Amino acid sequence: MDGAGTSEEPLSGLSSPSPGSPLLCPQSNMDVKGYKFVRWRVWLTRLAAVLSLGLILLLFHWRPRLAILARCCSCSLASAEILTLKDSYGRQHVVEVLQEVAEEGSLELVGEPEDNEWRDTVTLYKEEKTVLRYYVFEGQRYMWLDRKGAFCLVSVLSEDWTCLDLHGYQNGLSLQEQKSRRRTYGANIIDVPVKSYVKLLFEEVLNPFYVFQVFSIILWMIDEYYIYAVCIFVISMLSICISLYEIHKQSVTLHNMAQVITTVTIRRDSGLEESVSSVNLVPGDCLVIPPEGMLMPCDAVLLTGECLVNESMLTGESIPVLKTPLPHTEKAYSSESERRHTLFCGTTLIQARGGGPRGSSTIAVVVNTGFFTAKGRLVSSILHPRPMNFRFYRDSAKFLLVLGFVALVGSIYSFVILFRNNETVKSLIIRGLDIVTIVVPPALPAAMTTATIYAQHRLKSHGVFCISPPCINVCAKVSVFCFDKTGTLTEEGLDVWGVMEGGPAGFSELVSGPSLLPPGGHLLSGLACCHTVTLLNGQPLGDPLDLRMVESTSWTLQEPEDDGEVLNAEFGGHRVLAVMRPPAQQLQAEETATSEALAIVQRFPFSSALQRMSVVTVTQGGRSALAFIKGSPEKVASLCRAESVPSQFSSYLNSFSKEGLRVLALAFKPLDRDTDLTTIQRKEVEKDMEFLGLLMMKNLVKPESAQAINILNLASLRTIMVTGDNILTAVNVAKSCGMVGSDERVIFVNTTPYTAHDTPTLMFNLEEDAVSNQNSAVVSLGLYQEDSRYHLAISGDSFASLCNYFPEYLPKVLLRTTVFARMTPDQKTQLVKELQKLNYCVGMCGDGANDCGALKAADVGVSLSEAEASVASPFTSKTNNISCVPLLIREARCSLVTSFSLFAYMAMYSLIQFCSVLILYTVKMVLFDEQFLFIDIVLVTFVALVMGRGGPSAVLHPVRPPASLLSLPVMGSIFIHLSLVLLGQLAAILIARSEDWYVPQNLTNTEPSIENTTVFYSSGFQYIFIAVVVTKGYPHKKPLYHNVLYLCLLLVLTAIMIWLVVYPGYFTAEFFTLYNITNIEFKMLLLGLAALNFIICFFAEVLIEMGVLNCLHLLRGTRPSKKQYKCLNKLLSNSPSWPPLNELLPCMSYGPLSQLAVVYPPLDTQPPKLMQ
């Protein structure tokens, strides 16, 4: 938050926190200004509201900031009554500063770290009572802290908690302390308000769209268009009722999903346990978790015991996750880094096992409540989504301004014409305003959403669910799609391919499975114990890799029953989490080297960031203790004593990885029996290990993956693999699924990190196979030939070094890299954001919790999940493969093209009617009430409703559909068609007036006339055939005849118009006030003129689609693309020296490729023309 707008410095004399301070708000650059009411301004605005008949209040409702500027004056934040907030997207918000009287002395109970801050805070306002000042924004509470001179998130009071601090809350809070914290943090509830129908009606009616409708209806009533006004009123009320029902239904659904109120058991500082409502929970409360599990009402960190948790609601991951106790360390607690120890709000605890002595209860400490929980933040993102920065939506608003300008011109013209015709002042005003209601169609926004609604229903029928319909059109512009590997491109399940023991003497022979390893060996014990598999109703649950690994050992998993004292006694009194027992036949077959049961007494779960997991085990009787570690071979080897790692480690690892195998390494070390195994730290366990061997698992590529990738490649959509697996395995999978062609080369990007003695370096190396067959210099000479392609591959460590030390090379590497391996969840998110900086429209497809950050950051996120809808991403596919991605893009392109067609049709409808009215004004005529009704309801509304029903093309075309409504082809098309329809109507009137039987008439506006009837006939056909003209088909949408309902409707409407022209009948002519034209030749001439008008418009549109208007671009000359990645791609394509193979590039502001670097400097120093 910015202190700008404050008129005085905080009394503490300290400077306000910087805008980037994470203490202030989740959005790093939110600007806050303070205001207080001025009495005379308030009374003046009240007077203005009365004099303007409430119009000022309506303006204030639409623009609350104007109300603040009118009623208030600027002041310091310390004394502000009202605040204006400007978020990172530039949106303005107005919030009220709330005050609450605190109980005397209660603030001293908040806690030591923040005690001083609170005392300073309240001193400024403390006269006789202590007052808390705060405001609520997007559900989160911001409290005034005088020492910081700013409103800060109340979560700052607990952000410095360390893991040891949290363990200190294990005894619970006192009742008084809990009350104090509840006053500070607020209630533990994610409250999604469900507004009453009356309030919703009030808000809906005040929407600019409906205000314009009310204005139009009043105008039509004054103009005596009673029937038309009543029909539009009924339709508007029906639309409002449907909208209110849907809004209320969605609010109730979200309210029920968000709000979790239950009865929980907490521990007081007296040692007693008490049942309370979850609404009263505060950070620091000690939560007692029942063995049967529960629905978590808050974020809590697990201190004792283990919990099996279903997190599918938050992450889309259907596999239950085992949560383990938080370690006793001085490390600062973070829910992201300690997520394997954190129980998140909204997740379901399937079961819990006590971790204290004698099987005592499972204990957790509350760390976040309300909207500060993980679920609360996700609900907030649904209630307050980031603005859709999509060009189509921006241009549609701009085009309404263009139509407004046209309406202004039309109003001036009608005013002049009617003034010359000696019309009354009332008539001049009504006719002028009537032009505005004609040119700016109030139904335009609603009509444009029908395409996405149809697409959403079609996607749902294919098992793809969407929680954000506007994202469908955005998906049409995706230019790069990132895919997770395991479970997304490859099968979730793994098959054990082989095991190889290793040690200082080297590797032993490869065996096909762990069960063939000699009994009693540490490798077999490690494979049986190093996992997080647990039992639920006697069935093993856990990660598919762990399940398959344990199954291959043939060992049996046993878990403690009741208080677990029996197993604890069997293993020397240690608290046992699980026991792994070898098969009975193995115990009987070997007498010398037998495998014995091992008890798992401590688990350190797998972490994507650490790329490993470990366990601590004890033998029967507690005679000895062993620690086992399992993880990525590179990471495990780095934690082992160097002499224990075989010299052939790298060569074997590379060999197995190139075959596409998932390779895991295992290691162990004995532990001192006197060590407290329940409190031992992870860093103490995972060091100085003894290398045991390698486990190879075959992860098959899903058959649908290669097909989907091939479709995307043919459509010129770039595909990227982002995985936590080994880089060579990832490259093999990329080749198997078609991301990398068989004739395409792979170049590895390698960096060395910064050390005290060495500067970072960067090197590009060709894949070994390519270099071994031919000289690398010869290979590099052919890298940039037109028929030669190459792909870069980079690991997570190298990616981090590239971002930190080689920012000038980052854009070039991103442009050519297809494989990102050993990437942590945070690095996946960072990659998506870096691609977006290059102006890519990024799609991301994943299946697990590790992808949640990237799925949320991407422009289009697709989660492969069995859940019908997941808040982890806008799209959720129940089909567990990536075949949904081409389908989604096809549907999105169809939706965008249809939205363009609907927009063009609604614009042309208003402009055709605009031409008709102005022409009739010129000849002293008007369109009649019933004619307007027939045009708007029968001809236009039905057409607009069914136009979007056409499905997508069966083939994904290489050319993406345009997203700009203000482009030359779109605006040129509308202008050309407007000219042609205007000429058509003028030609019809001129032909009618040139007929021998034509007799000028001196009529009132209530009698039929030749001019009115002729314009009504000709415009009626124009409304129909312009729908055919603007309806797009190839290449993104099926041809028009596939939309049978639409085609039949057009034919029926055409038949109705022909009937009205040829033989309307007496009653029909009376109803529409049509002139009785008896000349059949003239009627045929009108039909022929309409057909000619249609043919000319149709072929004009065909020429426009073929690019005839693009020749006008030659007049302004060629301009560079505004997309950074396109500019960079052009530069690299013309650079024969990049990437430099086998050259050591040192870290510097600009590397050896100074020419390229100068032309395309780092992202943060881009020239303005490339950043547009």
Catalytic residue numbers read 484
- The reply to whether omega before 1035 is within 30° of 0 (cis) is yes
Decide: 613 and 530 in contact? Cβ < 8 Å.
yes
If phi over 0 gives left and psi between -120 and 50 gives alpha, with beta otherwise, what is residue 870?
A: beta
* Terminal Cα distance for the chain, rounded: 27
Position 282, amino acid: V
Do the beta carbons of residue 361 and residue 289 sit within 8 Å? yes
Q: Output the six-digit token pair for 726.
A: 């080994």
Q: Residue 1169 has which token pair?
A: 């023309």
Q: Dihedrals φ, ψ of 132, to 5°?
A: -95, 130
Return the ∠ at Cα 644 (arms to 642 and 645), rounded to 5°. 70
Q: Which long-range contacts (CB under 8 A, 24 or more apart) does 796-800 make?
A: 796/724, 796/820, 796/821, 796/822, 796/823, 796/824, 796/827, 797/751, 797/753, 797/822, 798/749, 798/750, 798/751, 799/823, 799/827, 799/831, 800/827
How buried is residue 612: exposed, middle or buried, by Cβ count under 10 Å (0-12/13-18/19+)? buried
Distance from the Cα of residue 490 to its chain's centroid? 24
| CA separation for the pair 269, 178 (Å, rounded) | 11
Say which residues have a Cβ less than 8 Å from residue 632's Cβ, sequence separation at least 6.
611, 612, 664, 665, 726, 822
DSSP classification of residue 327: P
Question: DSSP per residue over 1147-1167, as a string?
Answer: P-SS-S-HHHHHHS--GGG--
Token reading at 936? 């708007």
**Length of the chain in residues, anyone?**
1172
646 beta partners: none
Structure letter (DSSP) for residue 608: T
State both tokens at 1157: 């670097």
Answer yes or no: are the C-beta atoms of 902 and 910 closer than 8 Å: no
Amino acid type, 45 = T
Cβ 301 vs Cβ 204: under 8 Å: no
Q: Which helix (H) or strand (E) holds 623?
A: none
Nearest to 835 by CA among 789, 797, 863, 799: 799
Q: What is the C-alpha to C-alpha distance for residues 587 and 603, in angstroms, rounded to an integer?
A: 26
Q: Is 1103 left (phi over 0), alpha (psi -120 to 50) or beta?
A: alpha
Task: Determine if residue 822 is left, alpha or beta; phi over 0 gives left, psi from -120 to 50 gives alpha, anything else beta.
Answer: left
Q: What are phi and psi of 446, to 5 degrees?
A: -70, -40
Torsion angles phi and psi, residue 1004, rounded to 5:
-90, 175
Rounded distance between C-alpha atoms, residue 826 and residue 892, angstroms: 29
Whole-angstrom Cα distance, residue 1105 to residue 969? 8
Q: Where are the beta strands (DSSP E) in 20-129?
A: 31-37, 72-75, 82-86, 92-96, 98-102
Positive or negative, the Cα torsion across 971, 974, 976, 982? Answer: negative
